[in-house]
Structure 1
Amino acid sequence: METFIITGASKGIGLALSKQLAESGHQVIGIARTQPEDWTGALFISHDLTDIAGISKVMSRAATEISAEAEAVTLVNNAGTVEPIGFAAANDGQDIEKSITLNLTAPMALSSAFLGGTESIKTRRIVNISSGAGRKQVKGWSAYCAGKAGLDHYTTCLDAEYENLKAVSVAPGIIDTGMQEKIRESGEEDFPQIEHFRDYKRSGKLSTPEDTASGLIQLMQRPDFNELPVLLDLRELPK
């Protein structure tokens, strides 16, 4: 049995991942603003991750609930936002700050608190949910691209700093979640690739949260997980 601490656990990938891991007999601790009605994990902690000051208390509580029987503990930094969508000049400073806070600062603060609260545990992992947008330019997503690029590089530093930690940053692909709905609702003047994303939905090219969660679990259960590159794409994993 392993323990998984998952952010953004109230919907989308986070909820699907939480359900599948709990059903497999693992201990799941979820973190998000609102607890879903169908939560099946061991513990749910309600917290808005843009409140950075409260993260150490949240992680402290999670750490005290880790089962003594856990063979490994994994933090999955899944929570994120694609907003603001629009060219750089149109992005309000407060919206940029919120984007960077949720996509980069919160995972950094969570990781720091996680590492400090699990020092006695032999096997630790941090799985950061990134995006292909962090590895290439996308017009209209400058804040999102910057946050995910920062998350990628932060993960490489984590993996290098600790011997008893494996950290990876995973681009999960294009998934049918609320984030995709926000993208499809934007205008072409803000996001020139809008029609491509609308076509993904129309043509059934979007992955489901459940399939993506299953892929992430397969990734984390690989016997060679500790030898994998830090930056990964769920659609292009090494055999």
Structure 2
Amino acid sequence: MAKEAYIITGASKGIGFEWSRQLSEAGHLVIGIARTEAKNWPGAHFLSFDLTCLEAVEEIIAQALKLIPKETETMVLVNNAGTIEPIGLAHKNDAAQVSQSIVLNLTAPMLLCSAFIRQLEYSSAEKKIVNISSGAGRKVYEGWSAYCTGKAGLDHFSSCLDVEYEGVKVVSVAPGIIDTGMQKKIRQSDAADFPLIEKFLDYKESGLLSSPEETAKWLMEMTQRPDFKELPTILDIRNLPQARKGGLK
């Protein structure tokens, strides 16, 4: 039996998929959640679920927890799913896209965290929550008003949880700039919508993007640190000593 079990959203691609693969290879139980299942899914279980269906969040957590043996020593929820869209100045953004952005980047993680905590209230297992945030939640980026706002909210929500629940350690971590589909969407932006487009094109051309593989490695090591409970709630993976030593971009 695996000592640690992970529930990971946005698990079908990018760092969610790679983290799931590395955890599974290390012998941990992984339950992935995403709208569509990835080919060659590496984890133990996969639940197809659209996170915009907020009324069903409680049930999807219940389904995931039923797949985890009660004797499991550590339960980890990873809120990794998110969206960069809409990209554009605030007054140009479509209302429906703004709403969906906030749902995926903030509301759904809030409800997932709440369901996880509520349903494990009487569990003796160690409980951890890792919310994948972004430097955009801590710094202004023109053209990303919805994304910045959602991630800033996720940081603050994480801080509230960490105060409210002594038995649950919560970390909201910025994983750095990673070469994923989200970065591809950013590079396809129009300069009128995203004035910093040239900088992000240069990140790719200059090899300044981290790979999903190396980022997942450092996230996994962060979550399994003996001093995980002592980590600050709001952090950047690149500021951890091991990540700096390893050359994480």
Fold match (TM-score > 0.5): yes
Pair 1:139-2:138 in alignment: no
Q: CA deviation at 1:218?
A: 1.0
Off by >2 Å, runs of 4+ in structure 1: none
Q: CA deviation at 1:238?
A: 5.5
Whether contact under 8 Å (1:172, 1:234) holds in the other structure is yes
Q: How does 1:108-147 map to 2 (within 5 A)?
A: 108-119=110-121, 120-147=123-150
Structure 1: how far apart are the matches of 2:74 and 2:45? 17
Structure 1: how far apart are the matches of 2:144 and 2:42? 34
Deviations 1:161-210 (A, max 9, x none): 11111000000000000000000000111101101111111111100001
Q: Which runs of 5+ in 2 are unaligned?
A: 243-249
Q: How does 1:162-173 map to 2 (within 5 A)?
A: 162-173=165-176
Instruction: Tell me the matched-pair count.
Output: 239
Pair 1:202-2:244 in alignment: no
Whether contact under 8 Å (1:73, 1:121) holds in the other structure is no
Q: CA deviation at 1:121?
A: 3.3
Deviations 1:144-163 (A, max 9, x none): 00000000000001111111
Percent identity, please. Answer: 60
Match of 1:5 in 2: 7
Structure 1: how far apart are the matches of 2:42 and 2:69? 16
Structure 2: how far apart are the matches of 1:177 and 1:238? 24
Pair 1:90-2:82 in alignment: no
Tell me the amino acid that sits aligned with residue 86 of structure 1: G
RMSD: 1.0
Structure 2: how far apart are the matches of 1:66 and 1:4? 9
Tell me the amino acid that sits aligned with residue 182 of structure 1: K
TM-score of the superposed pair, with normalisation by structure 2? 0.94
Structure 1: how far apart are the matches of 2:124 and 2:82? 27
Q: Which runs of 5+ in 1 are unaligned?
A: none
Indicate the SS of the match to 2:213: helix
Structure 2: how far apart are the matches of 1:11 and 1:67? 26
Structure 2: how far apart are the matches of 1:58 and 1:171? 26
